[in-house]
Amino acid sequence: MARGNVRRYGTARRIDGGIEARTKRGSIGRSWWSKELISAMEEVAEKGRLTRGRAYARAGQVISMRLEPGAAVGDVQGSQLTPFTSAVRVRTLDEEAVGDLVSLVRSSPGMLARLAAGILPEELGSALLPRRAGEIDFDCTCPDDGWPCKHAAAVAYLLAEHVDDQPFAVLTLRGVDLATLIGGVDDADADEEVAAARDFYGDDTELSELPTERFRPALEDLDPMLLRRALRAGGTDEAVVIRGIIDLEDLYRRMR
pLDDT in tens, 69-81: 999 999 999 989 9
Task: Return the minimum-mean-pLDDT range out of 59-68, 82-91, 141-150.
Answer: 141-150
Name which residue leads in pLDDT, 8 or 129. Answer: 129
Beta bridge partners of 88: 72, 138
Pick the closest to residue 140 from 15, 18, 53 (CA basis). 53
d(CA 99, CA 94): 9
Residue 80 forms part of a structural domain: no
Residue 76 forms part of a structural domain: no
Provide φ and ψ at 130, rounded to 5°.
Answer: -70, 135
* pLDDT band, very low/low/confident/very high, at 209 (cuts 50, 70, 90): confident
d(CA 65, CA 87): 9
Question: Is 159 buried (19+), middle (13-18) or exposed (0-12) by CB count in 10 A?
Answer: buried
Tell me if 149 sits within 8 A of 45, measured CB to CB: no
Task: Return the minimum-mean-pLDDT range out of 184-188, 224-228, 240-244.
Answer: 184-188
Q: What pLDDT sits at residue 132?
A: 80
Is the bond preceding 167 in cis, omega lying within 30 degrees of 0? Answer: no
Question: Is 197 buried (19+), middle (13-18) or exposed (0-12) by CB count in 10 A?
Answer: middle
Quote the number of domains for the chain. Answer: 1
Residue 223 forms part of a structural domain: yes
Residue 97 forms part of a structural domain: no
* pLDDT band, very low/low/confident/very high, at 134 (cuts 50, 70, 90): confident
Q: What is the DSSP letter of 139?
A: E
Per-residue pLDDT tens digits for 21-40 = 999 988 899 999 999 999 99
Q: Which domain holds residue 227?
A: 214-255
Compute the mean pLDDT over every residue in the chain, rounded to the nearest whole number.
Answer: 83
Residue 240 forms part of a structural domain: yes
Task: Indicate the pTM of the whole model.
Answer: 0.68
Residue 232 forms part of a structural domain: yes
Residue 7 forms part of a structural domain: no
